[in-house]
Structure 1
Amino acid sequence: MRPYFTTFYITEIVVGAEGQVTDHLHPEWANLRIISGALPVSEIRGAAPFGGVTGIVTGPTSTAVRFTTGTSRIWGIGLLPLGWAKFVAAPANAYADRLCDSAAEPAFAPLRPLVDTLFGPEPDEAAELERITRHFESLAARPLPEEARIRTVHHVLVDPDVASVADMAERASLPTHTLERVCRRYFGFPPSLLLRRQRFMRSLSQYMLDPSLKWIGAIDSHYHDQAQFVREFHRFMGMSPSAYAALPHPVLAGVMRARMVAAGAPVQALHDPSRD
């Protein structure tokens, strides 16, 4: 099951009776989040606020998702591109930069039984994890005609030395038009945008893990200059680096550190699909 997922992870948020926290999800791969307790309200650029559902599917994203929530338990299932191909019968680009109710979209029908039955009368992390694992094992027989190609493209994408679409196509041994099709269908975006997202997330992750670097010390070597990075920050996060740095990160700062220890990468976009 490992090649299909980034992680199965639980986030427990506890605030006062009337309290709420707000944070920003970074650009990432697709996710199913199943919530018990306060239901979050999420906002993605260009769309109305989204909330009031217990099962949220977020397609692959190229922009931040701002969310506000109260006391809750949230199970997250991070779907790698291969996992999207395996468990969702729809092109990833049809759901890119979208938030969806898992109960309302036919493409997510296989996920509904898990959303409906995950939580018991009392919190039980081990039992919940077992239900998640068994549910996806029951769906895993679906064939993947392009599995080898998806694996190859993803392996090339996460290589920090790959800086252009031409490099990516050569390393994947694919014609550019085939690479474009595979990326849109299974990864959600064209290869040029995927490479830009990787470069940006490498920079943002460096800063989040060690703010003492300042932005200038965290910027990826493939950026031409700081001005280019600032433009990209606006593109992917919808704000300036200084505005983002000034915000509290009550959820994501801890999640990134824990994810680095557990999965070897602080964010989903940088997850190595070949990691044991």
Structure 2
Amino acid sequence: MDVQDITGGTETPGIPPSLFDMRPGMAIRYDAPDPRLADYVTGYHLYAASGPGAMGLENWFLPGTANVRVTLNAGPIAVSIGRFRSDPLPQASLFGPTSHAIHTVTNGGAMIGFGISALGWSRFFDGPADRYADRIEPLSAAARPGFADRLVTLLSAVRDEHGVKPALDRFLLAELGPRVADEDQIRSIARMVTDDRPNAVADTAAEWGLSPERLRRLCKRHFGFVPKTLLIRARFLRSLVPLIEAKGDLDYSRIDPGYVSASHFLRDAHAVLGTTPRRFLHAQTEFLVASLRARAAVLGSATQALHRL
């Protein structure tokens, strides 16, 4: 795949190409997976940059679910998640579930990836998700034997961006593991995380007759974090994304009603972003802003962490 020929966009009917417009040399693309994968894969994404402006390019991305990513024809990439740093990024990598913003420094090339929901984690990975929380590992060290090599071979043979979705659909349907006994509970917990309702943790535990410790173990194994962290991440992103999309002056009256005050929201901002929302939005967020807009149009949610099953 020639990076310079990647234009980005989607073939999804009804979505105007202008939603994917970026400056020359940069492109993004999102695609929905096969419906049979919809509960397990949150979407496919492709980021590309070429030319002089692609060298030393900094970008920020929001925390979310786990992701598998493969780079093609790419220069060195450095990624930081909180205090964790991967430099250089492996060609095929697993980004574990994240509770901190992700900072990248890239040097041109293409990155193809797919998001893994908690249900997807139970189907594609054998180890507990919390082992990889806020970390990046070589995919070969985290996935089942041969998974990483098969994926790199597959994507290296894709001729253009239009072939990414069908190739990944075939691959992931073939790699999908058996249903686990906890699947219905995982689905219920996922809805608890994305639904904005009081007493969500207690209601979910009561619905399934789960002890607090059992609920905590399920969340750590399949989501990567304890329930409190998952709920804080969702509440923060429900507040931050509208602020990003609004442009102009930040209006904290729009934050999630779960926050008792703006200072409460700002404390979470420091924990998740490492800075204030205002300073974060003045950083290099070109890919972030474009991806929020494009992902919402194609996949229905601006961020993976708020993706509904």
Q: Same fold (TM over 0.5)?
A: yes
1:12 matched to which residue of 2?
A: 48
**In the superposition, relative to structure 1, how do residues 248 and 48 fare at CA in structure 2: closer, same or farther (>3 Å)?**
closer
Q: 1:202 offset after TM fit, Å?
A: 0.5
Q: Is the 8 A contact 2:78 2:85 kept in 1?
A: no
Could you list the runs of 5+ residues in structure 1 that have no partner in the other structure? none
CA distance in structure 2 between the partners assigned to 1:105 and 1:141 by the alignment: 15
The separation in 2 between residues aligned to 1:250 and 1:37, in whole angstroms, is 21
Deviation >6 Å, runs of 4+: none
1:144-163 C-alpha deviation (Å, 9 max, x unpaired): 11111111111122101245
Residue from 145, 151, 176 that aligns with 1:114 = 151
User: Match for 2:128: what amino acid?
Assistant: P
Amino acid in structure 2 at the alignment position of 1:86 = R
Indicate if the aligned counterparts of 1:102 and 1:108 stay in contact, CA closer than 8 A. Answer: no
- Alignment identity in percent? 28
Q: Any conservation in 2 of the 1:6–1:78 contact (CA below 8 Å)?
A: yes
Give the structure-2-normalised TM-score.
Answer: 0.81
- 1:91 matched residue in structure 2: 128
Structure 1 residue 126: deviation in Å? 2.9
| Superposition map of 1:87-166 within 5 A | 87-105=124-142, 109-120=146-157, 123-162=159-198, 165-166=201-202
Distance across 1 between alignment mates of 2:286 and 2:248 = 18
User: 1:16-62 CA distances to partner (integer Å, 9 max, x unpaired)?
Assistant: 17723211121100001111122421012222443242112110000
Q: State the Cα distance separating 1:206 from its structure 2 match.
A: 1.1
Q: 1:241 aligns with which of 254, 277, 286?
A: 277
> Relative to 1, partners in 2 of residues 1:70 and 1:220: Cα closer, same or farther, differing over 3 Å?
same
Letter in 1 for 2:99: S
**From 66, 70, 81, the counterpart of 2:103:** 66
1:200–1:220 CA contact under 8 A, matched in 2: yes
The equivalent of 2:119 in structure 1 is 82
Aligned to 2:302: 266
8 Å Cα contact 1:156/1:172 also seen in 2: no
Deviation at 1:169, TM superposition (A): 2.7
**Does the residue aligned with 1:251 lie in a helix, a strand or coil?**
helix
Looking at structure 2, the residues matched to 141 and 105 of structure 1 have their Cα atoms a distance apart, in angstroms, of 15
Structure 2 residue aligned with 1:183: 219
For 2:46, what is the secondary structure of its paired residue?
strand
* Alpha-carbon distance in 1 for matches of 2:146, 2:254: 41
Q: Which residue number corresponds to residue 260 of structure 2? A: 224
Q: Give the residue type in structure 1 aligned to 2:266.
A: V
> Are the structure 2 counterparts of residues 151 and 106 from structure 1 closer, same or farther at C-alpha, using a change threshold of 3 Å?
closer
Shift of 1:127: 2.6
The corresponding residue for 1:255 is 291
In 1: Cα distance, 2:265 partner to 2:48 partner: 33
Q: Structure 2: how far apart are the matches of 1:109 and 1:238?
A: 37
Aligned length: 272
Q: Distance in 2 between matches of 1:141 and 1:248?
A: 38
Are the structure 2 counterparts of residues 217 and 211 from structure 1 closer, same or farther at C-alpha, using a change threshold of 3 Å? farther
Partner of 2:10: none
Which structure 2 residue ranges, 5 or more long, are not aligned?
A: 1-36
Question: After superposition, what is the alpha-carbon deviation per residue over 1:184-229, rounded to whole angstroms, capped at 9, x for unaligned?
Answer: 1101000011111110011111112212461413311100101111
Letter matched to residue 80 of structure 2: E
Match for 1:209 among 232, 245, 259?
245
Q: Secondary structure at the match of 2:293?
A: helix
SS in 1 for 2:55: coil
227-236 vs 46-55, greater mean Cα deviation: 46-55
Deviation (angstroms), 1:89 = 0.7
- Aligned residue among 69, 73, 77 for 1:33: 69
Letter in 2 for 1:103: S
